[in-house]
Amino acid sequence: MKLYAVKLLTVTCEILAQKDVIEILKKHGITGYTTYEVDGNGARGIRGQGFKNEKNVKIEIIMREDKLQDVVEEISRTLFADFATVLYVSDVSVVRAEKF
């Protein structure tokens, strides 16, 4: 079974910024992603106590390398200043490269 190299982009951000991230993905023609709520600690303090809106969410997107740069650039530009956000990129292999 041949595996194909693609990129996995992971964005950890405030739950209220999730919509913005997905909007950006959509703008770049990406509709596949996985999300889940997480707690966390970082420069903006502990998150995940108290109201649900103060939790974080992780958004994971498997994508081809060619879209990565633009997406990362737009998320950094529009969200880093105002929202608690961390993103990282890793290398993964998939079976059906055409799916992404």
Q: Which two tokens stand for residue 48?
A: 């995940």
Query: Residue 46, by phi and psi: left (phi above 0), alpha (psi -120 to 50) or beta?
Result: beta
CA nearest neighbour of 72 among 83, 57, 61, 82: 61
* Interface region with ligand AMP, contact rule CB under 6 A, candidates 18-26, 35-43, 70-78, 90-98: 35-43
Can residue 43 be called a binding residue for a copy of itself (CB under 8 A)? yes
33, 64, 67, 78: which one contacts a copy of itself (CB under 8 A)?
33
11, 18, 56, 71: which one contacts ligand AMP (CB under 6 A)?
56
54, 64, 67, 72: which one contacts a copy of itself (CB under 8 A)?
72
For tokens 């709520």, what's the residue?
Answer: 37
Diameter of the chain by CA atoms?
A: 47
Compute how many other C-beta atoms are within 10 angstroms of the C-beta atom of residue 32: 11
Rounded-to-integer distance, Cα 90 and Cα 14, Å: 21
**List of residues contacting another protein (CB under 8 A):** 14, 16-17, 19-20, 49-54, 81-83
**List of residues contacting a copy of itself (CB under 8 A):** 1, 3, 6, 8, 10, 12, 31-43, 48, 56, 58, 62, 69, 72-73, 76, 80, 86-96, 99
